[in-house]
């Protein structure tokens, strides 16, 4: 099936999902935008415009696009190539898998685990980052080495609120490497170059598949041991083995992948963050606190409580509210921004909701709507730029 939908004004897109139910995903698109719905995997490059994109139901298996090869212009490629020269010392004929493992080992060991933001170049020079930064450094080095790669983000997980790792495309498939925990999963009991490194989606389909390989003696030590250039570490782990000092075992890691939602493959994979709200008995519910910071919104407690942002981030995201309430109620949802004059938010009714009005103050946007049943569903998105969420409140 391939359908092309265009309209000069507002476009209403509805997708029936799950057992043919009436639940629909509705997006209002800007003028002169189009969306392509296809059952085939798209290999077109990502578009910077959030609402002019290719929708494919299997982004996990898509072939690389231009964005998966691109090295940002603000990166110092001379410095990044010097790292690759250190790893490969002029050798030719190195397979893409060996290149990936060498880069993976370098990032996993040389970068300590500490918060950092910036380019891959700056974080590698400074020698520290959290999972997003380590994944970004790995992905960028792979691209400089000529291999398409992407970041994979997954949210609402135990032990961590979210996590980011990387995939590299070679041998006509994606392969997962996690430079934060120094782990990848192999199809054979020992790493013997006869099997395959699994993809993230392989683990989504079967969280118990593959054999976990610890690719480095210890992660985050702050330096790279040159002796690692001469041999590949082949430590096979058991499910009870610990990956860090905070209780993340291999079993917990597998369970995090099993239960994660949503998952974004690449930096432009549009995702929905669920928000479960129940105001049937209590008249209001808060998510986060109004304190000028988005940090508490990143904890995902309770499990499905949205996210700390809406709009064009990495990955771009919107909120889908599942609201339990008394029938025939008037509902208000408030979004508080961390800064003044935030970008516009828009509410789209999906089930048993009729919009009454939207009001905007300096840091607050309030949506008011009428519910026709005990369960209502609405979606809220930011069509331009980035809205950083300080807190959210729903009440009737």
Average pLDDT, the chain: 83
More confident residue, 342 or 47: 342
pLDDT surpassing 70 at residue 28: no
Encode 219-228: b = buried (16+ Cβ within 10 Å), e = exposed.
bbeeebeeeb
Highest-scoring range by mean pLDDT, 65-69, 195-199, 239-243: 195-199
More confident residue, 178 or 51: 178
Q: Are 245 and 159 in contact (CB under 8 A)?
A: no
Going by the DSSP 8-state scheme, the letter that residue 378 receives in this structure is E
Give the pTM: 0.79
77-259: which CATH number, 3.40.1350, 3.40.1130, 1.10.3470, 3.10.620?
3.10.620
Q: Mean per-residue pLDDT for 373-381? A: 95
Tell me the CATH class for 270-396.
Answer: mainly beta
SS3 content of the chain, % helix, strand, coil (to 5): 20, 30, 50
In tens, the pLDDT along 175-196 reads 999 999 999 999 998 888 899 9
pLDDT reported for residue 318: 95
CA–CA separation, 161 and 298 (whole Å): 7
Q: Would you kindly state where each structural domain of the chain is located, as residue ranges?
A: 1-61, 77-259, 270-396
Of the candidate ranges 18-27, 79-88, 176-185, 354-363, the one whose mean pLDDT is the lowest? 18-27
Please give the helix or strand (H or E) that residue 347 lies within, else none: strand 346-351
Q: Mean per-residue pLDDT for 279-291? A: 94
* Residue 389 in tokens: 């969420």
pLDDT surpassing 80 at residue 301: no
Domains 77-259 and 270-396 belong to one CATH topology:
no
């Amino acid at each position: 099936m391939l359908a092309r939908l265009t309209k000069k004004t507002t476009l209403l897109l509805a997708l029936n999902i799950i057992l043919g139910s009436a639940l629909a995903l509705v997006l209002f698109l800007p003028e002169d935008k189009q969306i392509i719905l296809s059952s085939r995997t798209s290999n077109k490059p990502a578009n910077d415009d959030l609402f002019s994109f290719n929708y494919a139901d299997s982004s996990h298996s898509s072939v690389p696009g231009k964005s998966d090869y691109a090295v940002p212009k603000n990166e110092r490629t001379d410095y990044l190539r010097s790292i690759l020269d250190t790893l490969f010392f002029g050798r030719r004929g190195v397979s893409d898998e060996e290149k990936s493992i060498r880069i993976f080992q370098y990032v996993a060991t040389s970068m300590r685990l500490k918060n950092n933001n910036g380019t891959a170049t700056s974080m590698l020079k400074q020698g520290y980052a959290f999972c997003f930064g380590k994944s970004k450094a790995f992905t960028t080095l792979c691209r400089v080495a000529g291999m398409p790669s992407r970041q994979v983000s997954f949210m609402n997980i135990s032990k961590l609120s979210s996590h980011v790792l990387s995939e590299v495309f070679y041998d006509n498939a994606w392969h997962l490497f996690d430079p934060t925990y120094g782990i990848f999963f192999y199809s054979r009991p020992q790493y013997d170059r006869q099997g395959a490194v699994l993809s993230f989606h392989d683990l989504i389909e079967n969280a118990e598949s593959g054999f976990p390989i610890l690719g480095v003696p210890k992660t985050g030590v702050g330096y790279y041991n040159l002796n690692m250039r001469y041999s590949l570490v082949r430590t096979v782990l058991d499910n009870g083995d610990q990956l860090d000092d905070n209780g993340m075992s291999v079993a917990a890691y597998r369970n995090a992948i099993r239960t994660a939602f949503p998952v974004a493959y690449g930096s432009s994979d549009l995702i929905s963050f669920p928000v479960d709200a129940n105001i049937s008995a209590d008249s209001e519910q808060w998510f986060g606190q109004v304190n000028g910071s988005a940090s508490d919104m990143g904890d995902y407690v309770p499990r499905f409580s949205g996210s700390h942002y809406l709009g064009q981030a990495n990955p771009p995201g919107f909120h889908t509210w599942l609201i339990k309430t008394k029938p025939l109620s008037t509902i208000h949802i408030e979004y508080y921004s961390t800064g003044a004059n935030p970008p516009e938010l828009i509410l789209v009714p999906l089930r048993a909701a009729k919009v009454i009005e939207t009001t905007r103050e300096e840091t607050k946007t309030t949506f008011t709507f009428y519910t026709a049943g005990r369960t209502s569903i609405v979606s809220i998105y930011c069509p331009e730029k980035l809205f950083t969420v300080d807190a959210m409140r729903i009440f009737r």
